[in-house]
Structure 1
Amino acid sequence: MDPNGPVTLRTSKFITNRLLQRKQFVVTITHPTRANLSRDEVAERLAQLYKSEKERVVVFGLRAKFGGGVSTGFGLVYDDEEAQRKFEPKYRLIRKGMAEKVQKPSRKLRKERKNRAKKFRGVKKIGASAAKK
């Protein structure tokens, strides 16, 4: 396996989506001598292809074909950062480093807290649902 072997990017089902201020397409990557390409590397190459900033390109859903050599996925190229922040799902913004992940207590802890609060009414309910010391 040659780590800097030939790589071909081909886009299909190309749509210029004016409503969501982006270009969207299916990307097919041919990499016969490589295991796969990183999402970051694909985004870099697509940015060159569509004359855009690397930060505006979002690549997701990459899947390698059985037997290797070919991968397919989806690509989006946003017109500007504002549109990207507005229309892109939060988890993908977090992945890109454009949003902060909300840290919340574990699911089990939240459920225990909720059930503890069920036993009380009024002001005591607030105290019961507060974190234990």
Structure 2
Amino acid sequence: MFSMFGSSRTGLRRKRIGSGLASCHADSVVTIRTRKVMTNRLLARKQMVVDILHPNRASVPKTEVREKLAQLYKTTPDLVFAYGFRCQFGGGKSSGFALIYDTLDFAKKFEPKYRLLRLDCNATFWNCGIAVNATIIL
């Protein structure tokens, strides 16, 4: 018996595997490892490369990464800045970079403004746009 979609036996196997994966998505474990950790006293921070293992999951939100790194290094999540994550081909692993500042004042002083605005650190900055310059000239 020839079937266009393969034998019924392989079809049953696909269904069984598919249903097993669907149940694993909610309970997947995320492992965060840091390497190349160095303390930068001039900029008052720790900087490191972060490797994330996330099998059966597309990616991990940066908020979750920040919370876990803050818990790991005994600090608050608002002092942790994670960025530059790339997923490995085939999935299951991502790597990026993280900075952990000593205080929020040092973070506001040394961190780029766009990253502060992404995390909403209650930072207000001087806007030097064209509209502002036009109102100053007039």
- The TM tier, using the shorter chain, reads 0.7 to 0.9
After TM superposition, the structure 1 stretch with the greater mean CA deviation from structure 2, 20-29 or 96-105, is 96-105
Indicate whether 1:83 and 2:106 are aligned.
yes
Give distance in 1, aligned partners of 2:125 and 2:55.
37
In percent, how many aligned pairs have the same letter? Answer: 49
Question: 1:33 offset after TM fit, Å?
Answer: 1.6
The answer to whether the Cα contact below 8 Å between 1:3 and 1:33 also exists between their aligned partners in 2 is no
- Within a 5 Å distance, the mapping from 1:54-73 to structure 2 comes to 54-73=77-96
SS at match of 1:11: strand
Query: Aligned residues, how many?
Result: 110
Query: Structure 1 stretches of 5 or more lacking a match?
Result: 111-125, 128-133
Of 34, 43, 53, the match for 1:11:
34
SS at match of 2:34: strand
Query: Structure 2 stretches of 5 or more lacking a match?
Result: 1-21, 131-136
The answer to whether the Cα contact below 8 Å between 1:59 and 1:74 also exists between their aligned partners in 2 is yes
Correspondence for 2:15: none
Of 61, 67, 71, the match for 1:48:
71
Give distance in 2, aligned partners of 1:103 and 1:58.
23
The RMSD of aligned alpha carbons is: 2.2
Distance 1:18 1:68, change over 3 A: same
Of 103, 119, 127, the match for 1:96:
119
